[in-house]
Amino acid sequence: MDYTTLMMTCRRCDECPLHETRKRVVFHRGNSDTDVMYIGGAPTEEDEQNGECFSGKDGQLLQRAMDSLGIETGDVLMTNILKCRPPGGAFPGDKKSKFEADPTAGHCSRTWLDEQVEAVSPKAMVLFGPAAAQWALYRGRDDMPKRFGDVVSRCYQRKDLWPGVKRIYVTWHPSHLLRGAPGVNNQLDSVMGAISKAKDYADALRANKKGPTGKTIVPKQVVTVITKPSAPMIGSSCDQ
């Protein structure tokens, strides 16, 4: 299915209970013809009003970080695990959510997100926040870790991540930074580190696809968590 058809089809989706409370489906923001995807958890109220992901205060913060690195909106494709805003903004499974960890909520990642990734075919991906990391890397499994740190340390168990995505960076969600938690400057540096690395990797891959022997380099997929500015918390290699 081509990207536009996918988006139009998703806008009619009624596969999970969130379709009853949404005002509109929020599919993306940015450029589908890109090598870099950013993925968050769920649309905010502002996103729902504007019809675009990352269009509220968290998106403005992200945009400032992107501007400072010379990354334009058209350089990336931003989306969320869920395409419909959960009531109260709480992700299914979250303590504040009216929805329990509803298995049907996983439909969004198993179908729309997978199809979206397939249509965009990115080389690098940034997962913002634990919800995106958990649901992107563990959806449909019974052993989804509760702790953020366990998400990546156990990723070697996963053999069916998107094979074309060679670098996956997991970092703070921009909305987390808006809460003014201690260490917020370090967290901003971490977000900037993740989006900068994703850009650099995609740029390098485009510029030099040949290894020393003249053959195209096919790197293994690597998932890296960046929650501290200078020292990635965990780096993990996932064989495909």
Residues that bind ligand SF4 (CB under 6 A): 10, 13-16, 18-19, 25, 82-84, 107-108, 112
Toward ligand SF4, which CB reaches closer, 47 or 189?
47
Q: Which is nearer to ligand SF4, 28 or 83 (CB)?
A: 83
136, 113 contact by CB (below 8 A)? yes
Closest distance of CB 53 from ligand SF4, Å: 13
The smaller minimum CB distance to ligand SF4, of residues 77 and 84, is found at: 84
Contact (Cβ atoms closer than 8 angstroms) between residue 6 and residue 48:
no
Pair 179, 56: CB distance under 8 Å: no
Q: How far is the CB of 98 from ligand SF4 (least distance, A)?
A: 14
φ, ψ at 38 (rounded to 5°): -110, 135
Amino acid at 48: E
Least gap, CB of 85 to ligand SF4 (angstroms): 9
- Closest contact distance (angstroms) between CB of 186 and ligand SF4 is 33
Please list, residue by residue across 85-98, b when 16 or more beta carbons sit within 10 angstroms of its beta carbon and e when fewer do.
bbeebbbbbbeebe
Measured from the CB atom, the residue of 108 and 152 that comes closer to ligand SF4 is: 108
Give the shortest CB-128-to-ligand SF4 separation in angstroms.
Answer: 18
The residues, any chain, with a CB within 8 Å of residue 229's CB and separated by 6 or more, are 186, 189, 190, 193
Coil, strand, or helix at residue 221? strand
CB of 108 to ligand SF4, least distance (A): 3
Please identify, using beta-carbon distances, which residue of 16 and 66 lies nearer to ligand SF4. 16
Nearer to ligand SF4, 78 or 198 (CB): 78
Q: What is the DSSP string of 180-215?
A: T-TTHHHHHHHHHHHHHHHHHHHHHHHH--B-TTSS
Q: Which amino acid is at 128?
A: F
